[in-house]
A = this chain, B = another copy of it.
Amino acid sequence: MVHLSMINNAKIGFIGLGNMGAFMAKHLMNKGHELNVLDMNPQSVQELTKLGAKTAENPGQIAANSEVIITMLPACPQVTEVYTAPNGILSGIKPSTICLDSSTIGIEASKIIAKLCEEKACHFSDAPVSGGVVGAQNGTLTFMVGTKSTERFEAAKPILECMGKNIVYVGDNGHGLAAKLCNNMMLGISMIGIAETMNLGLNLGLDKKILTNILNTSTGRCWAGDTNNPVPGALDNPNIPGNNEYAGGFGVALIAKDLGLAQGEAISTQSVTVSGSHAYNVYKHLTNSGAGLKDFGYYYEHIRNKKE
């Protein structure tokens, strides 16, 4: 159903050239694909057109000229708008177009768009990413893909491999998003747990490196502790946010957004998520308090016992 020829030289519409999208689009161009790009911000578009991309008036025109359409947008309203507006993607799309949405949005909304694409004989996949801006820059993103069949997954895979190194087929439409939200919920919980645990241990007089080492080699082991420990000096890696005043990393406001989506899914499915909802509230509070741009490990700084 997909022409192999397109793998090397596909016509790709790319909408959403933010911090991550711009890097992703460049990787696709570097691999030889023809890009037709669009963004709210004219400068972002210009940066890509200078490199040889084309642009258009609106998403409908982009769609009319694309075999593959990739969207990388901040949240659900933008994705809905870009697809369903009078001159949106659906207004111009051709049958058999491969639609890949790498935005992180609610599952129901994504399924509705998948259905609308289906009605146009197009193939929609949710393909949210993990790996952050650094992963986008280095082409090392993980894509979690939800789509109707393994054939569709296989058709999309070569495109996604231009931008990432780990392309996972999760299941049906919506399942890529489900996997991402689950992972990030667990991540948010772990970070709070590690922050509270390290703070308790330090208050009890333990050496931070010794405690970190014990946790990391015992049953308390987790990514937030052994790779992204939020306590300054607990790990040697000089590049992690905990050793850089919580600059870079996974922003508090971003994880708050993902955990809010996860809570929405927990409401829909009547799933008990006490620690997930608590984690969401923690990051929501930090965001409200003005710490939204710091790495989410900032919770440690927030709760640690201060000297009087």
Contacts and interface: CB of A to CB of B under 8 A. Distances in A.
A186 B191 CA distance: 10
Interface stretch (A9-17, A30-38, A50-58, A208-216): A208-216
B271 A267 contact: no
Interface of A: 107, 130, 142, 144, 166, 168, 170-172, 174-175, 178-179, 181-187, 189-190, 192-194, 196-201, 203-207, 210-211, 214-215, 217-225, 227-228, 256, 260, 262-267, 269-282, 284-285, 287-290, 303-306
A150 to B, nearest CB: 13
Contacts of A282: 274
Given A205-B174, A281-B274, A218 B183 contact: yes
Contacts of A222: 186, 190, 221-223
B218 A175 contact: no
A144 to B, nearest CB: 7
A305 B211 CA distance: 35
Contact of A200 (B171, B260, B262): B262
Contact of A182 (B215, B217, B266, B305): B215
8 contacts: A178-B204, A182-B204, A186-B197, A197-B273, A200-B265, A200-B271, A277-B280, A288-B303
